[in-house]
Amino acid sequence: MKITQISVFLENRKGRLYDVCSLLGAHHVNIRALTIAETESFGVLRMVVDKCDAAVKLLREHGFVANFTDVVAVEVPDTPGGLAAVLKVFADNDVNVEYMYGFVEKHSDKALLVFRFEDTDVAQQVLAKHSISIVTKQEIEGL
């Protein structure tokens, strides 16, 4: 099952990340996972939040450029080699990962990772075939 990621365009200016986080915080939107990809002048903030529709509406109202992207949250055993095993499945099945990042909280004894695939549907089929568990939207909201 896909989950929704929010991406936000940010200039590399002091306090812009804070502006986004405090805006979301003030409106009771909880950030579950977050990463920033940067160039020398701008960055893209990517997040998984509990209320994504409300969050994007809020951000756009406050002048940010914000979009939705489909991603998949994968449970990875929190043991040595746990991530390698999952990545091997992708490599063996020609599933391209655009980028990935970790969740803030831990989910039981497993680590949660957000994956952005080139082709999300194909990736999901591969994950299901290899019994790698993924996290549902409902679980994200309830985390």
Partner 1 sequence: MIWKKDVECLDLAGLKALQSHHLKKLIPYICRNCPVYKQKIDAAGVNPDAIQSIDDIKKLPFTTKEDMRDYYPYGLFSASQDQIHEIHVSSGTTGNPTLVGYTKDDLKLWGDVMARVLCCAGAEPGDTIQIAYGYGLFTGGLGFHYGALEMGLRIIPTSSGQTARQLKIMQDFKPRILGCTPSYALYMAEEAKELGIDPTQGNWKIGIFGAEPWSESMRREIEAAWNMLATDVYGLSEIIGPGVAQECQHKDGLHIFSDVFYPEVIDPATGEEVPEGQDGELTITTLTKQGIPLIRYRTRDIVSIRYDKCRCGRTSPRISKIKGRTDDMIVVRGINVFPSQIEHVLVGIEGTQPHYQIVVDRKARQLDEVEVLVEVEQRFFSDEIRHLSELRERIRKEIQNVLSIGVKVTLVEPKTIERSMGKSQRIVDKRTL
Positions that interact with partner 1 (CB under 8 A)? 5, 7, 9-11, 16, 37-39, 41-44, 46, 60, 63-67, 69, 98-99, 116
Of 62 and 88, CB closest to partner 1: 62
CA nearest to 17, candidates 4, 2, 34: 34
Residue 63 is given by DSSP the state T
Of 94 and 98, CB closest to partner 1: 98
CA nearest to 29, candidates 48, 45, 16: 48
Least Å from the CB of residue 116 to partner 1: 7
Least Å from the CB of residue 23 to partner 1: 14
For the chain, give me the number of helices (H) and strands (E)?
A: 5, 6
Least Å from the CB of residue 101 to partner 1: 12
Least Å from the CB of residue 57 to partner 1: 13
Token pair in block for residue 89: 């499945």
Of 36 and 130, CB closest to partner 1: 36
* Strand 42-49, strand 110-117: pairing: unpaired
Torsion-angle region of 106 (φ positive above 0: left; ψ -120 to 50: alpha; else: beta) = beta
Of 18 and 42, CB closest to partner 1: 42
Burial of 45 (0-12, 13-18, 19+ CB in 10 A): buried
Of 59 and 76, CB closest to partner 1: 59
Least Å from the CB of residue 73 to partner 1: 16
